[in-house]
Amino acid sequence: MLPCGHHGIHSVAALCTLRVTVITDDMLTNSITVRLENMSQEKFLSPLLSRFVEGVATVLSTTKDAVFVFNIQNDTDVSSNILNVTFSALLPGGVRDKFFPSEDLQEQIYLNRTLLTAVSTQRVLPFDDNICLREPCENYMKCVSVLKFDSSAPFISSPTVLFRPIHPVNGLRCRCPPGFTGDYCETEIDLCYSSPCGAHGRCRSREGGYTCECQEDFTGPSPALSLLSEGSGSFPNVLGR
């Protein structure tokens, strides 16, 4: 109980709850941003923030304490009152520090928007993810939008809540296939570098893998280990991985 002020013989007191959340890179990477229609920052904080968290927890079958809202920002790309709310959530079942991957989180929220709207009393709009529309990832790999920490924003207040958001910046992550690396999967890895075919095989690189060409009298998945018995004949053996 924190005393807020005194006036003569009268005193006024208020119960304040302080909740501090440390925003980690893992939380940012596994977060999503939803768009709420006809919503302002002040209106969202009181009293809809708790309803929104309850709705997300219901959709994900997790607890309210496992949902972390860390950014509330007006959408600057549209003229109407759309509020962007960014959050992440822990997986249910007591798995320590394991968050819903952003793709799974977005899918769950999108498929259950009707339920989220009913519980939170806020209309959730379809996702607006433009950063991957230009298909920046090479070799046809999937582009996933991610957030990175930028700065802490000024406090946002309502009659009952004082909220300090952070301002993340949009980024992207490419999921590279075997044999490729780099920010955009643009670099091909030489999978023959470690001589996987052994001393009696020739390694030839191909897209996403390599092929072993065995020397005469050798065969098997590891050419150096499988020697044909003498006099049984010889043939080249080509193996692909």
Q: Report how far residue 72's alpha carbon sits from residue 86's, in angstroms, rounded to the nearest whole number.
A: 7
Q: What is the pLDDT of residue 225?
A: 39
Chain centre to alpha carbon of residue 5: 45
Of the listed ranges 18-27, 40-49, 122-131, 152-161, the least confidently predicted one is 122-131
214 pLDDT more than 80: yes
Give the angle subtended at the CA of 130 by the CAs of 127 and 132, to the nearest 5°.
110
- Reduce the DSSP state of residue 176 to 3 states and report it: coil
Mean per-residue pLDDT, 122-151 = 72
Q: Which tokens go with 173?
A: 């992550």
One-letter amino acid for residue 42 of the chain: E
Provide the strand spans (E) within the chain: 2-7, 10-14, 32-37, 67-74, 82-89, 124-125, 143-152, 156-157, 162-163, 166-174, 180-181, 187-188, 201-206, 209-214, 238-240
Sequence spans of domains, the chain: 21-181, 201-240
Q: What is the pLDDT of residue 112?
A: 92
pLDDT band for position 99 (cuts 50, 70, 90): very high
Q: What is the pLDDT of residue 152?
A: 74
pLDDT band for position 58 (cuts 50, 70, 90): very high
Q: What is the pLDDT of residue 97?
A: 77
- 33-37, 193-197, 209-213 — most confident range: 33-37
Mean per-residue pLDDT, 64-72 = 91
Mean per-residue pLDDT, 22-49 = 88
Q: What is the pLDDT of residue 153?
A: 73
Q: Which residue has the higher pLDDT, 172 or 224?
A: 172
Contact indicator for 234, 227 with CB cutoff of 8 Å: no
Mean per-residue pLDDT, 185-214 = 78
Q: Which residue has the higher pLDDT, 86 or 229?
A: 86
Q: Is the pTM for the entire model greater than 0.85? A: no
Judge if the upstream peptide bond of residue 47 is cis by omega within 30 degrees of 0. Answer: yes
